[in-house]
Structure 1
Amino acid sequence: MTTESSQESTTTTTTTTTHTEDALESRRRALARIDNAPLGWRHARAILVAGVGFFTDSYDIFAINLCSSMLGVVFWENSGSSRPGKVPYSADTAIKVSTSAGTVLGQLLFGWLADRVGRKRMYGIELMIIIVATLGQALAAESRAVSITGQLAFWRVVMGVGIGGDYPLSSVITSEFATTKRRGAMMAAVFAMQGFGHTCTGVCQLAVDKMWRVVIGFGAVPACVALYYRLTIPETPRYTFDVARDILQGDADALAFLEGGSEGHPDAIKRAAVLQSVTVREGLPEASWLDFWSWYSKWKHAKVLLGTAASWFFLDVAFYGLGLNNSIILSAIGWSGGSTVYEYFYRNAVGNLILICAGAIPGYWTTVGLVDILGRKPIQIGGFIILTITFLIIGFAYHALENSDNGLLALYVVSQFFFNFGPNATTFIVPGECFPTRYRSTSHGISAASGKIGAIIAQCVFGPLAHRGASGGLNSQDTPWLNHVMQIFALFMLCGVFTSLLIPETKGKTLEVLAGEDLVSAASDSSLSTPRDEGRQNKSSESET
């Protein structure tokens, strides 16, 4: 009786070990297939599905920059305010800052949830939030209970939550589905859709004049188009392998993605056996707050998170400080004003289009072409250095440039180019690559939220500093301190150079190598050995001694 039960136990152990060995081998094969797959339509589809979200995000963020002028004409033309025909400074700041505040919440919340419940479950929810909030803004109206400022600020906080969720989700999903050789280009192409979204805001304004509701409401259209595809995208195999620890399902999902399907269907009996395997559960670390703090308590891991978060913070201080106050920059370079309100809107829209098309879009796509050749770190550090020099030139030679023909415009276009062929793209790419799967989305969310905190600081401080010393204060068109603001931005860019030294170079390396998770497989292999095998190894070791 004892012999029979022993034989049954041995058979069960052998069967489970065989299933586990097969499962771990399936994990290796599946990741190798994804990492080495030729670039094809399935990757193009992933880029488009994620990229449409960034098109929408950029459109919605920067549309308010142009609509602010329209809102002033519609709601403050005859208000008796100190800025007739313009949005009061406090209201303008509240509307713009509210988006970044919501974005911080969304990046932290969705980043954590994507690691907790899965990328697929959360992907699409953020677009639903954006659609609802965009329509809410378009339908907002002045009332006795709530002002137009309050309504727009509320809906832009809600919209910001959706936009914030898109950052970690799109970055991580793209990186986990991408091939190793072209991963940087795929992620950069997703991010480059921001340039087209920003361009579309200017084109839309040219077409609709004072119809600010149409300009804002149009942002819901691309989101509706992408929603179905986001809801049907498969779970990333890396999440299924390393967080859900369902190896056979991950293998099936990897095959489904490469074949254009939405979900894999592994053998149910074999899958159940592997899910119950203690070896698999022990071989793959489980995500928890204790493990999170343990991981980042080590300097070699903490310095990477510090590098990505601090670099994004320093970048966004200048990027959003300038980007959401383009009207001030356009006025400084002489591209503003107009004899009629329509001419004013026209020149404002065309001025923005010039800056975007001449500088930003070429910068985005130069990154797409060169990021997997030059590497992320050289592009980021080089971009910060050139931006430091550019802002120093503008700051210290500002008055001479004002009197030159388009000198200030040329330098500002240069800065837009190296924002995007530089840290604006790479700060998005690197956090999606260098962290372990179980904390990749959370860490990306923390990094991105740090950037948006910098954006909030910039939006609250840029205006008062630029108008410091003006006779009309914040309501004046004069910006006597703009040169000093550019010098301050140069200091932030210089700080970005040093924090960028903390990040690793991720070019040409698998996500597992970057996160140290390739050691998990080796640990799992050693844990698969039976006591009999260990005894043989010990005897061999003794004989050699």
Structure 2
Amino acid sequence: MDGKELFERLDHAKFNQFHLKSIFTTGMGVFTDGYDLSSIGIVLPLVLLSFGVKSLTGLESSLLAGSALIGAALGAIVFGLLANKGRKTFYGLDVLVLALASLAQSFVGNVPELIAVRFILGIGIGADYVLSPLIMGENANSQDRGKSIAIGFGLTWGIGATFAAILYMVLQAYHVPDALIWRIVLGFGAVPAASVIYLRRKLPETPRFLARMKGDLVGLQNVIAQVTGGSASEIVNRDELEDRQEASFYWAKNRKNIFTACVLWFLFDIVAYSGILFGPSLIAKGIGLTAGSFQLVMELAFTVPGAIVAILFIDRWGRKPLQVLGFVGMAAALGMFSMFKGEATTVPLIGLLLYGGQNLMSQVGPGSVSASGMLGIELAPTKIRSVVQGITVASGRLGASLTAFVFPALFRIWGEAVAIGFLATLAVIAAVLTLILLPETKQRALEETSRERSDSETSLPISIPTGT
């Protein structure tokens, strides 16, 4: 059995309990990511009221919105490098950071403290953005890999954001004091994060890391047996299994695809996070909704259904057509919102449908492809996959951080219509780049999508010592 045949057994394994457990274990961390990144936009007015702050300076507002994103960029780079030493080794540490930082938010006494805590929270989020899709992708079979990542990352992120809005509105309905509501909402993020620490520590190392990075035959046999439900006694020797190719070879070979993955996530987050960070406080006011009701409607009526559409078609139509469709739909919805701002203000339903439409198309396309971490996983070989994933995540967080500082200025100086028109233009550019540069990866082995094995090769690119 050569390396190709070994991974074919994993790729052709039927979706089973192991895959389901992997989705749940990774997905609960992503639920926390969505919850934590969305909740601050909902409770921000209550935070300021509690601290006796009438308004924030432009810098303070941007730091509060962007501190977690800056921390996520740092966490992604650090854990991308660490995960090259072992995926499981650091899995669980990410949600531990998330749990502790989420809880710490409940006890801050001023805005600077909240900014600092959310920066630490961001480090855990960045780590999870690297580790969760990485582990899920390397465990998944090729036929269901797209929907597995879309469920475990795209869908659960939206559900987490929805739950933040529901909790906020329930607390308000029961007349909980405002000063307590925001502390409960921010602190609750510790619960889903803490719930999967044990499960993550028990999840086995991924088969591709064991094979290609460590050449661990015994560990690999055990994981294959868990994934496929059968034995794995016939395995090549270590020299035929471990990848001895230099990492620089893969960086040079895959530089265009890696660059494409980074740019697309960067552009998507600029567009998407303008709504996530400022929609509840800026746009909702213009169409007559409270922050909580705006967030709930956006997530429950548009984002989550968009994720469901992506799950249904991502392994049928493919990543590329869905992403193009999503970016074009985002541009169209945002463009119409900008053009018909007056009507959207006087008739709130129009504003809801137009802005909600961009949320829907966002999750149908790039929210379930680029922003799920799928491209970094599928376009990078095992030897550099975690580092590439860290860089792509950091690229997205850089775009989101840029939004935190630039979008409010555009909004303030040029007005809402111009700011949203600018976002629509970026979405069009991203659609064109997807169409031109992004290769299709649906239902193909990771060794093929990442060019770890060329289509013309019969086995993985390996270096076998003389005499073996």
Q: What TM-score, normalized to structure 2? A: 0.91
2:88 is matched with: 120
CA RMSD of aligned residues (A): 2.5
- Secondary structure in 1 matching 2:367: helix
Aligned to 1:413: 356
For the Cα contact (< 8 Å) 1:249–1:266, is it kept in 2? no
Match of 1:498 among 432, 457, 462: 432
Q: Cα deviations across residues 377-405 of structure 1 (Å, max 9, x unaligned)?
A: 00001111121222222222322433345
Q: Percent identity?
A: 27
> Where do residues 316-327 of structure 1 align in structure 2 (5 Å cutoff)?
316-326=269-279, 327=281
**Conserved 8 A contact 1:47-1:186:** yes
- Kindly indicate whether residue 42 of structure 2 is the aligned counterpart of residue 66 of structure 1: yes
- CA distance in 2 between counterparts of 1:246 and 1:507 reads 29
| Inter-partner Cα distance in structure 2 for 1:113 and 1:396 | 47
The residue aligned with 1:161 is 123
Q: For residues 398-437 of structure 1, what are the structure 2 equivalents within 5 Å?
A: 398-404=341-347, 406-427=349-370, 428=372, 429-437=374-382
Measure the CA separation in 2 of the matches of 1:307 and 1:118: 26
Residue in structure 1 matched with residue 459 of structure 2 by the alignment = 522
Shift of 1:256: 3.0
Residue in structure 2 matching 1:219, options 189, 192, 195: 189
User: What amino acid sits opposite 2:196 in the alignment?
Assistant: A
Q: 4+ runs of 1 displaced by more than 6 Å? A: 264-267, 523-526, 528-531
Map of 2:22 onto structure 1:
46
Equivalence for 2:320: 377
The amino acid across from 2:134 in the alignment is V
In the alignment, which residue of structure 2 is the partner of 1:472? none
TM-fit CA distance, 1:186: 0.4
CA contact (8 A) 2:3 2:459 kept: no
- Cα drift, residue 408 of structure 1: 1.6
The total of aligned residue pairs comes to 454
When structure 1 is superposed on structure 2, of 246-255 and 165-174 the one drifting more is: 246-255
Counterpart residue type for residue 45 of structure 1: K
CA offsets, 1:8-62, max 9 Å, x none?
Answer: xxxxxxxxxxxxxxxxx27445422221111122111110000000000111111
Deviation of 1:307 after TM superposition, in Å, equals 1.0
Is the contact between residue 30 and residue 255 of structure 1 (CA under 8 Å) also seen in structure 2?
no
Q: In the alignment, which residue of structure 1 is the partner of 2:250?
A: 295
Aligned to 1:206: 169
Residues 280, 524 of structure 1: 8 Å contact kept: no
Contact 2:331 2:358 in 1 (8 A): no
- Shift of the 526–154 alpha-carbon distance from structure 1 to 2, 3 Å rule, reads closer
Contact 1:431 1:440 in 2 (8 A): yes
CA distance in 2, matches of 1:27, 1:253: 15
Indicate yes or no: 2:112 matched with 1:136: no
Contact 1:55–1:193, Cα closer than 8 Å, also in 2 = yes
2:451 counterpart letter in structure 1: G
> How big is the shift at 1:63?
1.0
Task: Kindly indicate whether residue 330 of structure 2 is the aligned counterpart of residue 387 of structure 1.
Answer: yes
The CA distance in 2 between the partners of 1:512 and 1:389, in whole Å, is 36
Once residues 189 and 325 of structure 2 are traced to their aligned partners in structure 1, the CA distance between those partners, rounded to angstroms, is 34
Contact 1:111 1:445 in 2 (8 A): yes
- Distance in 2, matches of 1:523 and 1:42, equals 26
The question of whether the paired residues in 1 share the 8 Å contact of 2:12 and 2:142 is answered with yes
Find the aligned partners of 2:213 and 2:426 in 1 and give their Cα distance: 37
Partner of 2:147: 185
Check if 1:285 corresponds to 2:230: no
Letter of the 2:446 counterpart: L
Q: Which has the larger radius of gyration?
A: 1
Deviation at 1:93, TM superposition (A): 2.1
Between stretches 385-394 and 355-364, larger displacement belongs to 385-394
Provide the C-alpha distance between the structure 2 equivalents of 1:237 and 1:504, rounded to a whole number of angstroms: 25
Offset from partner CA, 1:393-439 (integer Å, 9 cap, x none): 22223224333452121111111100100111110222221210111
| Residues in 1 aligned to 2:306 and 2:118: alpha-carbon distance in whole angstroms | 28
Residue 487 (str. 1) matches residue 421 (str. 2): yes
Aligned to 1:234, what secondary structure does the other structure show?
A: coil
CA distance in 1, matches of 2:70, 2:184: 24
> Deviation of residue 513 (structure 1)?
1.3
Look up the match of 2:385: 440
Residue 285 and residue 74 in structure 1: after superposition, are their counterparts in 2 closer, same or farther (change >3 A)?
A: same
Asked if the contact 1:99/1:160 (under 8 Å) is kept, the reply is yes
Q: Is the 8 A contact 1:51 1:193 kept in 2?
A: yes
> Which sits farther off after the overlay, 91-100 or 215-224?
91-100
